[in-house]
Amino acid sequence: MLENKIDNSKLGITKKDELQVLDTSQENITWRSGAVGEKIWMGSLTVAPSAESNVQHHAQSNTVHYVLNGQASFFYGKGYKKVIELNEGDFIYIPSYQPYMYQNNKDATPLQIITTMAPSYQLEYLNKDESIINSGNDNSQEEISIVKSSDLMDSTSQTKNMPRKTAVQAPNLWVGRVTGETAMDSGTHHHGEAETAGFIISGTTELLYGEEYEDYEKYNQGDFLRVPAYLPHIERNPSKTEPIEFLTARNPKNVVVNID
């Protein structure tokens, strides 16, 4: 039965001022943890003005970066001479074991990125002339790629009133952007075997759950959320004047099972 597959303890919220610092080993770069699940992780990456990262990769985790604020350059390939430029609202997909580096292109404002990894947070540093060996993974056919904010796709599973747009569908990782109309809800649904992590870009979202949907969590701009697999719930925009927008990620894909 469905209820036997649900663990409500894994439904949660991490407020924007409660994020756990994970890594500050690179000067002027900070990783923070937001939503942590069994097979998905979402958090934030803050890069000081003009700062540049070391070469890094994410081991077995596929990774998607979303530029929340600022402008960035990502470098990869032989000699790290391939360059991708990202602006606010753009996504970049980093396959597992792919080394890369990045920099903040602004000299006065921090670069803020929301990062998703599946199945977990993994971060390993390399020297520029160092190769990854014995990865146990062949990504020779898979390249780093960018999805511009204007190129998101509508072709994915949907609920009412809260359209989802796909940015990335990679092995065991779907990432997209969701908008919600004022004073509307999504209707009752769950996400099957998919575990969900999310980040509120703007507005306030309420997530209702429980036997009669009497329980709820409230998420504000900058908060992270996690939703366990198979949990029936309703997303609601309580505002009559402001729409909502949030980033959503799922492992393995965007499963939507509408109940009503």
| In the predicted structure, residue 35 carries a pLDDT above the cut 90 | yes
Residue 9: the pLDDT is 52
Q: For residues 202 and 2, what is the distance between their CA atoms, to the nearest angstrom? A: 32
| In the predicted structure, residue 252 carries a pLDDT above the cut 80 | yes
Q: How many CA atoms lie within 13 A of 195 on its CB side?
A: 24
First to last CA, the chain: 18
Q: Which residue, chain included where needed, has tokens 């997209």?
A: 176
pLDDT tens track for 64-76? 999 999 999 999 9
Residue 1: the pLDDT is 41
3-state SS of 115-165 is EEEECCCCCEEECCCCCCCCCCCCCCCCCCEEECHHHCECCCCCCCCCCEE
| In the predicted structure, residue 139 carries a pLDDT above the cut 60 | no
Percent of the chain with pLDDT over 90: 87
Residue 58: pLDDT band with limits 50, 70, 90? very high
Given the candidates 2.40.30.10, 3.40.50.720, 3.30.30.10, 2.60.120.10, the CATH classification of the domain at 20-150 is 2.60.120.10
| Chain mean pLDDT for the chain | 92
Domain 2-12+152-258 sits in CATH 2.60.120.10: yes
Are 87 and 67 spatial neighbours (Cβ–Cβ below 8 Å)?
A: yes
Bridge partners (DSSP) of residue 236 are 185, 206
Predicted TM-score (pTM) of this structure:
0.94
Residue 158: the pLDDT is 94
- Looking at residue 52, the DSSP 8-state letter turns out to be B
Residue 4: pLDDT band with limits 50, 70, 90? very low
Q: Where are the domains of the chain?
A: 2-12+152-258, 20-150
**For the sheet containing 234-236, what is the strand order?**
215-219, 205-209, 234-236
Are 56 and 101 spatial neighbours (Cβ–Cβ below 8 Å)?
A: yes
| In the predicted structure, residue 5 carries a pLDDT above the cut 70 | no
Domain 2-12+152-258 and domain 20-150, same fold? Reply is: yes
C-beta neighbour count of 3 within 10 angstroms:
10
Residue 131: the pLDDT is 78
The lowest-confidence range among 3-12, 77-86, 202-211 is: 3-12
Of residues 139 and 246, more confidently modeled: 246
